[in-house]
A and B are shown apart, each in its own frame.
Chain A
Amino acid sequence: MRGRPNLYINYKKETAILSTNTQKIWFVFMIVFSIAMVFIATDYWILLLTTAFLIAVASWGLNIVSGFAGQISLAHGVFVGIGTYTGAVLGGVATDYVVGYELDMIIWLPLSGLFASLLGLLIAPIAVRLKGLNLGLVTLALVFIGSHLFSNLKTFTGGAGLGRKTAKVVLFGFQFDDGFNIGNVILEKNQLLYLFSLLVCILCGLGVKNITRSKTGRAYSAIRDRDIAAEAIGINLFKFKSSAFALSSFYAGIAGSLLFTVSGGVEPGTFNLLYSITFVAIVIIGGVGTVLGPLFGALFFSLLPGTIQTVIHSLENFGQGFALSSGQIERVIFGLFIIIFLIFEPRGLWGIWFRLRNYFKAWPFSY
């Protein structure tokens, strides 16, 4: 088979996650590059990248339920919140006004996902009866119920305005706070958390890819495209819509429980409507219903503040600053990008990447 390296010779090879050598090389390269970032990047960028990886995990969750299974969910942020607080209660330190059990991460991380997915299952019966925007409205109601509960269940969340500390990151008795020495290089908490988030992100990403290449992913797409035909083929709508919501919330829960350990504290007001909408925006900008899209979207969303600040700082050298703060500029630009993508590139960043890739695949022959 020399000379035809990309020829599939069996179905096993074709269904593989990385089916060509180019993909394998890039995959390994990206992982090595991401790990190398620990030693190269400044703390600020490490922080942004860690959030990006975790937000990618949460966005993958939303993409499963909305992108693949076609069920609009505006309440994704609530499930992220549920994951955050499950993690914080199980792994956090108790104080006078909040509970905390100081458990190991190996316990609270899966449980945060599982608890969120249990609550996700509760929406599933509604999703079986409602479609499209009506379902969207119901999930919208969930956002308000969620923020109300988060603000008022003070023993768990610390209450509005105050908040609480998140889970302590302790894995198998190893404290992330202590840092880790490799030779004479010391990896601090941020860097360890970055590496751990990278691992979680890779595992969750592989999970999404696995879903798309299996029966479950096909059933989701079938439900999205034509639910009546899907049912006539033998797909149990209740079962698959439920599993879509459960999986989606599981991802949200996992991401949520880790997301705020980066800063160490969380305030209930975070999980408002805007927070949930952000995930919708990330999925749209990244590429709805694609595997890599949410990762692109999350990187874009998280790295935007850093980029804008860098640009503004360099502009300030010219004397006058802007009338808007960098936070405001960031929001304006982000909003602008949503509009631009919806109009010009509905397939999102993934669509751009797809066209670029195909261009270079055929290069220098454009046809």
Chain B
Amino acid sequence: MNNLVFENVSLKFGGITAINNVSFEVIPGRLFAIIGPNGAGKTSIFNCISGIYRPTEGQIKFGDNHLNLLRPDEIANLGIARTFQNIELFENMTVLDNILIGAHRHLDYGPISSLIFSKKVRNIEVEARKRAEDIIDFLEIEQFRYSYIMSLPYGVQKRVELGRALAMDPEILLLDEPAAGMNNEETEDIARFIIDIHEEMKKTIILVDHDMNMVMDIAQEVMVLNFGEKLAQDEPKKIVTNEKVINAYLGGGS
């Protein structure tokens, strides 16, 4: 199990500073939440971790690996999975295929073996299918197994994306607004899934969300960002009473 460490990371786009000198550490087994107003740099942090953006300054380390030197697929293969804020599923594939493709990094055969589809490949595929079915079962999306993504409602798509990330069997799971645009009931479902993933599957989770009730309920540690700068990092209980956080984001009580 590896620690994810941010060391003085900055990300600049021309004159705009998306992340300004942010440092933090996520220890294995944590349910770590990042909150902050729109444009605070939450998703930028995710994009830096998964290699879609390169930090302008600073280091991102995962164990002994320097993530800022790796390609996105290499980072994913270290065991860092993510979901996206705007669902990035493969629309022209079925739910099952989307989840199977999450297991891509665990299927050990190449294009030429695919062409021949030997017995070994078939066994690997059947095993992958079993694991995919476990995930489908866990997320309660059995009836959508063969549906194409574009025909599914938003809430289900969010769940499938979580399933795809789970199929990667990652060490760290980055969840970018899993409850965005959901009603109370759906949010509760998602919160339940996140807790199960954290407690039963023993995954480290970094969570970004705007639903304060959910975040404060389930997170073990919360980091608050504002305009790319880190305001605070603490337990949820202490974050709610933090003066700076209340001014920037939560708002004072009447």
- Residue ranges of A at the interface with B (Cβ–Cβ < 8 Å): 10-12, 14-15, 207, 210-211, 213-219, 221-222, 224-226, 228-237, 240, 243, 247, 289
Contacts and interface: CB of A to CB of B under 8 A. Distances in A.
Interface string B58-77: 00000000000001110011
Interface size grouping (class) on chain B? 35 or more
Given A229-B90, A231-B76, A219 B52 contact: no
B175 to A, nearest CB: 13
A221 B94 CA distance: 11
Contacts of B82: 232
Contact of A217 (B73, B91, B114): B114
A216 B114 CA distance: 6
Given A210-B115, A214-B117, A234-B77, A12 B107 contact: no
A229 B160 CA distance: 14
Interface stretch (B26-34, B118-126, B209-217): B118-126
Nearest to A208: B115
Nearest to A215: B107
A230 B97 CA distance: 13
Nearest to B125: A15
B164 A233 contact: yes
Contacts of A14: 129
17 contacts: A11-B125, A15-B122, A210-B117, A213-B117, A213-B125, A214-B117, A214-B125, A217-B114, A218-B97, A218-B100, A219-B101, A222-B90, A222-B93, A222-B101, A229-B88, A234-B105, A237-B73
Interface string B106-117: 010111011111
Majority secondary structure of chain A interface residues (helix, strand, loop or mixed): helix
Given A11-B130, A214-B125, A234 B73 contact: yes
A240 B114 CA distance: 12
Nearest to A220: B111
B77 A221 contact: no
B84 interface: yes
Contacts of A230: 90
Given A15-B122, A233-B164, A247-B111, 19 more contacts: A15-B129, A214-B114, A215-B107, A216-B114, A218-B97, A218-B104, A219-B104, A221-B90, A221-B93, A228-B72, A232-B50, A232-B52, A232-B72, A232-B76, A234-B105, A235-B73, A236-B71, A243-B110, A289-B92
Contacts, number: 111
- What 5 A-B pairs come out closest when comparing CB atoms? A234-B76, A214-B114, A216-B114, A210-B117, A229-B88
Nearest to B92: A225
A226 B91 CA distance: 9
Given A218-B100, A234-B168, A226 B90 contact: yes
B104 A234 contact: yes
B71 A231 contact: yes
Interface string B200-226: 000000000000000000000000000
A235 B117 contact: no
A12 B129 CA distance: 9
B102 interface: yes
Contacts of B168: 233-234
B109 A215 contact: yes
Interface in B77-91: 77, 81-82, 84, 88-91
A240 B110 CA distance: 10
